[in-house]
Structures are given as structure tokens and as C-alpha cells.
Amino acid sequence: MSPASYAWEATDEEIAARYGVAIDRILRFDLNTSPAPPALAAEVLAGGAFDSVLSDYPPSDYRRLVAAAADAYYAEPDEVLVGAGADEVLEVTAKAFLRPGGAAVVPGPTYAMYRVITEQRGGRVIDVPRRPPEEGWSLDVAATAQAAGEADLVWLCSPNNPTALAEPDGTIEMLLGELEVRASRAGTPPPVVVLDEAYAEFAGRSLLELRARHDNLVIVRTASKAYALAGLRVGFAIARRETIAAIAPYRPPASVSTVSAAVVTGALHEGAAMRRNVARVEAERRRLGDALRSLGWKVGPSVTNFLLVDFGSAETATVVTEQLLRRALVPRTFGAGHPLAACLRLTIRDETGNDRLIAAAGELGR
């Protein structure tokens, strides 16, 4: 896939026109975002508690936001870098460590942007298949380490999007150790490992502590998922201070708005709204998964805010997709030839939205 071949999701307006549905009836099950932001966002916006007036650029060091993130992620402020969403953090990390003509390892299936960012940088993608679904789509440590011998970067995601599961305990630490052993034998530095933990709050665990032992590890977190603030576009890199210092020159100035910085600072300090959202998602995930299974859908296990459903064939997945879209329900699909072409990914929404999906699944089964 070339960078030019990647297409963003259709907008609500495009879906409404294509399928003849009312735009206010459209529900997005394809974006992995919560249906409503915490009340804290409205409070901050109403109070105008910003670091600077809106006619000025935000403070260049994002000091209050960085301090809040350092507290939330058990880090020092100089171990944190702010970006406009996790995607910008991924992009500036690639700018820092992926050499022109270099290579990056992508264990797939995984988040599509790792490939896009690599190719946009003129890099070469080394695809490494994950283990089969009966092994939880887990990382193939030996194959990944072997492929990384010629790479600048290794892209990892745990819990993995779109397979909905975290790596088994010890897997990523084992890979980091193997990369260091191989690099020592070769007399070269190990590749930088980018661990995307966008869904870590839902899984209830993180590997942030590994950065203390591995200076080639960059962990990425976001306010988009558990904090339900995707529209504000705030993400973070957490790594050893020397690693953050290597990335920092590539960060654009003032890419995170004053409003976004203020709201996310408050959300990180407050924390309770995020925990309530995680608890709500967990309860709805169980309910939705059980309901769809009872209707004959093959729903995989999940520790995230989405489910992966296997329909057995790409043709069946396409038919189900069309039927859902005609009911103004938008699933995440995978293109022909993709390892998950027979699957749909479905975001956990609120009770009302999930009930619409359950009702549609029941209708399709008749």
C-alpha cells in the first residue's frame, strides 16, 4: 500500500447520501471513541481556565499539561512529550528515528497508521504476521526479533488494535531483551520500539515501567479513548529523558490548542470521569458481546473498547456491512486480502446505541 492509497473513513454526510439514511440516525461503530465527553470538558470550557488568552499561541512547553501527564503516567516531566493526538506522537517519533530509506517492522494485523507513517517517511515496511487467532493474535517474538535486525523501528500496539487483546505477560519484555542481545552481537544499537498503549486503561495494565531499563522504548498514550476526548487531539510519548530529547526537535510548535491543553490537564488531574467511562465500557462490552453471541455472531474476547467479530468469510462480512449501513450503523471493515477481511470491528457505544446494533443483528439473523 502506498501512502496515497490510504483513505480516511467516510463522513456522516457521505454515508447519509450513499445509503439514504437520516444523518442524525447514524451511529459510528468504527472509530473506537466514546459517545460523549466527560462533563469536565464543558466545565473547563465554561470557566475559561486556560493557560493563555485564545488570541495567543499556547505556552511552548505545555508545562501544566506535561506535569499532569507526568503525574498520571508515573514519570518525570522531562520523560513526557505532548503531541496533537497519538498519531502526531507516532509521526514525530518516526521522524526522529526512521532514517531515509530505513525500515520499520510492523507485526500485523495491527493499527494501519504504522504502515502509513513509515511509507510517508520513505521507509520500507517489514511485515511480520502475528500468531493465529487461536493464540490471541499474539506477537511472534522470534520472527519479530529476526526481522528487526535490519530495522530502525518496531511498531507495537498492546492492547492491539484491531484484535482487541493485550500481549501475554512478559512478551514485550522478552522481545526487548532479544533485540538488545542481537544488537550487542552485531555491534549496533537496537531498533527503537514504539509501544502504542492507546487502550491501556481498558486493560488495566501498562508497561510504562519498562522504559527505566530500555532506552530504546517509546510508549504512547492518548486522551482519545478512555478519557473520551478524541476531538481535542492530545497524546503523549513517555520514554527516558534522552529519548524524549531526541524526539522533541521534531514536534511542531503549538500543535495542541490552548483549549485542548486545558481540558486534558483537568481530565488527567481529576481521573474519576475516566474511571467511570472505563467501568461503563466494560459493562457494555460484556452485555453487547453476550447479546451478539446469543444471535450467532462469533465475537472474540476483548480488553478494549471494541469487539472483533468473525463472520467466516469476506463475502459474509461484506453483506453484513451493507445491511448495517442501510440501518445507519457504521462498522469498521477490512479490505480484500487483509488478514481480517472476514471480520468487522465494532466500537462499544452507550446502551441505546448498542441496543440498536443488537436489534439489527437480530433482524439479520431472521
State pLDDT tens for residues 107-119: 999 999 999 999 9
Query: Is the pLDDT confidence value at 355 over 80?
Result: yes
pTM of the model: 0.94
Residue 56 — pLDDT band, cuts 50, 70, 90? Answer: confident
Backbone Cα Rg of the chain: 21
Supply the pLDDT for residue 39. 67
Q: Between these two residues, 5 and 210, which has the higher pLDDT value?
A: 210
Mean pLDDT, residues 176-200 taken together: 97
What does the alpha-carbon distance between residue 318 and residue 27 come to, in Å, rounded to a whole number? Answer: 18
State pLDDT tens for residues 318-334: 999 999 999 999 999 99
Per the prediction, the chain carries an average pLDDT of 93
The set of cell numbers assigned to 235 is 497524546
Residue 43 — pLDDT band, cuts 50, 70, 90? Answer: low
What does the alpha-carbon distance between residue 265 and residue 287 come to, in Å, rounded to a whole number? Answer: 32
Residue 9 — pLDDT band, cuts 50, 70, 90? Answer: confident
What does the alpha-carbon distance between residue 25 and residue 196 come to, in Å, rounded to a whole number? Answer: 33
State pLDDT tens for residues 241-291: 999 999 999 999 999 999 999 999 999 998 888 999 999 999 999 999 999
Query: Is the pLDDT confidence value at 207 over 70?
Result: yes
143 by Cβ neighbours in 10 Å (0-12 / 13-18 / 19+) ranks as middle
Residue 1 — pLDDT band, cuts 50, 70, 90? Answer: very low
Mean pLDDT, residues 328-342 taken together: 95
Q: Between these two residues, 245 and 42, which has the higher pLDDT value?
A: 245
Query: Is the pLDDT confidence value at 366 over 90?
Result: no
Closest CA to 58 of 247, 264, 266, 255: 255
Secondary structure element (H or E) that encloses residue 217, with its range: strand 217-222
Closest CA to 111 of 340, 351, 268: 340
